[in-house]
Homo-oligomer: A and B are copies of this chain.
Amino acid sequence: MTAGSPLRRAVPPSTVARLPVYLRALDELAAQGVARTSSGELAELAGVGSAQLRRDLSFLGSHGVRGVGYDVEHLQAQVAAELGMTGDLPVVIVGIGNLGHALANYVVDAGTGFRVAALVDADPRVVGTTVAGLVVEDDARLGEVVQREGATLAVLATPAAVAQEVCDRLVAAGVTGILTFVPRVLQVPADVDLRSVDLATELQILAFHARQRTLERG
Which of B82, B204, B206, B208 is in CB contact (< 8 Å) with A208? B82
Chain B residues closer than 8 Å to A187, beta-carbon distance: 47
Which of B25, B46, B103, B177 is in CB contact (< 8 Å) with A207? B177
Given the interface pairs A16-B205, A46-B185, A204-B112, the reply to whether A210 lies near B91 with Cβ below 8 Å is no
Q: Is the pair A207, B99 in contact by a Cβ cutoff of 8 Å? A: no
A122 within 8 A of partner (CB):
no
Q: Kindly provide the distance from the CB of A198 to the nearest chain B CB, expressed in whole angstroms.
A: 8
Q: Kindly provide the distance from the CB of A132 to the nearest chain B CB, expressed in whole angstroms.
A: 9
Nearest CB to that of A5 among chain B residues?
A: B215
- Binary interface encoding of chain A residues 72-97 relative to chain B, with 1 for a CB under 8 A from any of its CBs, else 0: 00000000001111000101000001
CA distance A105 to B198 in the complex (A): 14
Chain B residues closer than 8 Å to A85, beta-carbon distance: 204, 207
Given the interface pairs A185-B45, A208-B84, the reply to whether A201 lies near B21 with Cβ below 8 Å is yes
Chain B residues closer than 8 Å to A99, beta-carbon distance: 102-103, 106
Q: Is the pair A114, B203 in contact by a Cβ cutoff of 8 Å? A: yes
Q: 9 closest pairs, A vs B, by CB?
A: A84-B211, A177-B206, A98-B102, A20-B201, A20-B204, A84-B207, A99-B102, A47-B185, A193-B209
Chain A residues close to B by CB (< 8 Å): 2, 4-5, 11, 16-17, 19-21, 23-25, 45-47, 82-85, 89, 91, 97-99, 101-103, 105-107, 110, 112-114, 152-153, 155, 176-179, 183, 185-187, 191, 193, 195, 197-211, 213-216
